[in-house]
């Protein structure tokens, strides 16, 4: 019989995340249930979608209660989970100098080839478990929006719009738009 060694799998904490960021602060670092994950800078269209949606949300939220914050900003869910959604709407009480404490009111992700599965599966599940009331995913390649709402502890697809279909979302801010309106003008 051949002896086998068992390799211990490291579970990382917020302290480990901070240490790694010091070594290379050009990447976006997240802590997903104890796993350190880094992603490259997003594509231009990604940032344009985030900016245009942020402007619409900022105009619609009650700024005495909520604020809109684009990435990079840490959303500290636990000692083993620190996310950086592309855009968050959080209560003023949640907003600290070093990030957002707890599940935001809304987390928005813009899909990219390197984050697609993580955004549609892992982060969606983490946000659902943490009690984040709203989770939206914009897909620039499909030109679509999927918006989930937490109902009795589970996400239910609340809206799905493609292309120039108008979608109205009343919570956490009353906004109406199409994904095409959020895209930059074609050159």
Question: Considering only CA atoms, which of 116, 122, 98, 101 is closest in space to residue 21?
Answer: 98
Radius of gyration of the chain (CA): 18
Select the highest-mean-pLDDT range: 24-28, 114-118, 139-143: 139-143
Cα 151–chain centre separation: 19
- The torsion defined by the Cα of 43, 114, 130 and 125, in degrees rounded to 10, comes to 130
Q: If 0-12 CB within 10 Å is exposed, 13-18 middle and 19+ buried, where does residue 156 land?
A: exposed
Domains of the chain (ranges, CATH numbers) = 42-182 (3.90.1570.10)
Distances (CA, A) of 50 to 34, 85, 86, 94, 136: 27, 10, 7, 21, 12
Phi/psi-derived region of residue 171, left when phi > 0, alpha when psi is between -120 and 50, beta in every other case: beta
**Whole-angstrom distance, CA of residue 60 vs CA of residue 172:** 9
User: pTM of the full predicted structure?
Assistant: 0.84
- The 10s digit of each residue's pLDDT in 117-136 is 999 999 999 999 999 999 99
- The 10s digit of each residue's pLDDT in 14-48 is 777 676 655 555 567 777 888 877 777 788 999 99
**Whole-angstrom distance, CA of residue 159 vs CA of residue 147:** 5
pLDDT bracket for residue 70 (50, 70, 90) = very high
Sign of the alpha-carbon dihedral angle for 27, 123, 74, 90? positive
Pairing between β-strand 75-78 and β-strand 28-32 as defined by DSSP bridges: unpaired
């Amino acid at each position: 019989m051949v002896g086998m060694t068992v390799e211990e799998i490291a579970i990382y904490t917020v302290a480990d995340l901070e240490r790694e960021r010091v070594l290379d602060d050009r990447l976006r670092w997240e802590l997903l249930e104890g796993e350190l994950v880094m992603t490259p800078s997003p594509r231009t269209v990604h940032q344009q979608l985030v900016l245009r949606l942020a402007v619409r949300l900022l105009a619609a939220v009650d700024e005495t209660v909520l604020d809109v914050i684009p990435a990079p900003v840490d959303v500290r869910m636990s000692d083993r989970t620190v996310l950086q959604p592309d855009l968050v709407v959080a209560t003023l009480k949640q907003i600290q100098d070093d990030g957002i404490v707890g599940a935001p009111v809304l987390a928005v992700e813009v899909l990219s080839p390197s984050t697609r599965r993580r955004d549609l599966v892992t982060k969606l599940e983490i946000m659902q478990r943490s009690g984040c009331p709203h989770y939206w995913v914009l897909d620039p390649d499909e030109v679509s929006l999927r918006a989930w709402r937490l109902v009795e502890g589970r996400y239910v697809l609340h809206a799905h719009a493609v292309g120039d279909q108008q979608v109205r979302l009343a919570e956490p801010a009353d906004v109406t738009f199409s994904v095409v309106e959020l895209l930059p003008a074609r050159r």
